[in-house]
Copies of this chain bind each other. A is one copy, B any other.
């Protein structure tokens, strides 16, 4: 799982398209949503000619590509929109870190959406690539999980800001949807952390440690997905490109704030997890201490008694005590007194 797939395309010429990633690459399906304030047209499985035709539409046109399995289809799309070969390579190689790149006619963005799978407490990431042109937007999704259902619905219902504003707002809304997923994942992880914390306080075991370790690893992965996003959004906010209108700026700033908030939380998560490790280690030490105390108490009480019993079990001919009438009761009494003394000592030391 670690660093897997990184080396797959090593040695190939730069710009070679090759599907690399976690999720099995499904067949490629292109949906087109073409809209402005008054019109809405949706094509679900568009073929090449429809794409070419819709590209020319003066309205906002969203080309939603799902599944990266058919490299030729994506390659054809790249030709239609004159995308750089390296852009195409990055779209299908889904191990990219989030980034933004400016080309002459478009801006290319890579995001990593995440989902926390509660059952096996692991984080699945899914690459989302966006290509933002003058009045069109291409979105590429790695897997089958639908990320943009809510956005689609808002466009269809035609209410709110989305139909009134341009393609830059659409790009923002898609990015916002990805960042919203982070909050969902964080909340799920937060619950997992709380469960773990309870387990640690009540009944820590080596299994708890392994869950803790796993969660730590997930938080590393989360961090890698989120950190570079800050720069991506900041880049957009700086408005160096002509593609983002000034009325979108407050939204981007808001998105930036959310990104920072996610990063903050991920850092907090790491601190929390290392705090849990400390708790675990001290719990282990404390239990060891408790075990040792039991052993010490038992041994300290009985070993001297056993010696005393052994003493009068010796077979010397001349042992006057053995002949005494009160020998046995006196020894018994000594034993009881010594036990009482020991117990008192342990109580004073707070071992009991």
Which residues from chain A sit less than 8 Å from chain B, CB to CB?
1-7, 9-15, 84, 86, 90, 95-97, 99, 101, 103, 150, 154, 160-162, 172-173, 176-177, 180-181, 183-184, 186-191, 193-194, 201, 203, 206, 209-210, 213, 216-217, 220, 224, 228, 250-251, 253-254, 257, 260-261, 264-265, 268-269, 271-272, 275, 277-289, 291-296, 298-300, 302-307, 309-319, 321-325, 327-328, 331, 350-351
A-B contact pairs, 30 of them (CB 8 A): A1-B194, A2-B190, A3-B186, A3-B265, A10-B183, A11-B177, A12-B150, A13-B161, A13-B173, A15-B161, A97-B260, A201-B210, A206-B286, A213-B279, A285-B288, A294-B296, A294-B300, A295-B295, A295-B296, A295-B299, A298-B299, A303-B303, A305-B307, A306-B306, A306-B307, A310-B313, A312-B316, A314-B331, A317-B327, A318-B328
Q: Note all chain B residues with C-beta closer than 8 A to A293.
A: 291
In the complex the two chains form, is B213's CB within 8 Å of A278's CB?
yes
In the complex the two chains form, is B319's CB within 8 Å of A213's CB?
no
Q: Note all chain B residues with C-beta closer than 8 A to A186.
A: 3, 6-7
In the complex the two chains form, is A209's CB within 8 Å of B11's CB?
no
Q: From residue A215, how far is it (CB to closest CB) to chain B in Å?
A: 10
Top 5 A-B pairs ranked by shortest CB distance? A309-B310, A3-B190, A10-B180, A2-B190, A312-B314
Which secondary structure dominates where chain A touches chain B? Answer: helix
A162 to B321, CA, bound (A): 95
A286 to B318, CA, bound (A): 47
In the complex the two chains form, is A315's CB within 8 Å of B313's CB?
yes
Q: Note all chain B residues with C-beta closer than 8 A to A307.
A: 302, 305-306, 309
Q: From residue A97, how far is it (CB to closest CB) to chain B in Å?
A: 5
- Stoichiometry, as copies per complex, reads 5
Q: Note all chain B residues with C-beta closer than 8 A to A260.
A: 97, 228
A282 to B150, CA, bound (A): 45
Q: From residue A46, how far is it (CB to closest CB) to chain B in Å?
A: 26
In the complex the two chains form, is A206's CB within 8 Å of B328's CB?
no
In the complex the two chains form, is B315's CB within 8 Å of A304's CB?
no
Which residue on chain B has the smallest CB distance to residue A214?
B275
Of B160, B172, B224, B257, the residue contacting A264 (CB under 8 A) is B224
Q: Note all chain B residues with C-beta closer than 8 A to A6.
A: 183, 186-187, 190, 265
Q: Note all chain B residues with C-beta closer than 8 A to A4.
A: 187, 190
A174 to B319, CA, bound (A): 88
Which residue on chain B has the smallest CB distance to residue A281?
B282
In the complex the two chains form, is B282's CB within 8 Å of A206's CB?
yes
In the complex the two chains form, is A303's CB within 8 Å of B300's CB?
no
In the complex the two chains form, is B314's CB within 8 Å of A350's CB?
no
Of B84, B162, B173, B316, the residue contacting A327 (CB under 8 A) is B316
Q: Note all chain B residues with C-beta closer than 8 A to A306.
A: 302-303, 306-307, 310
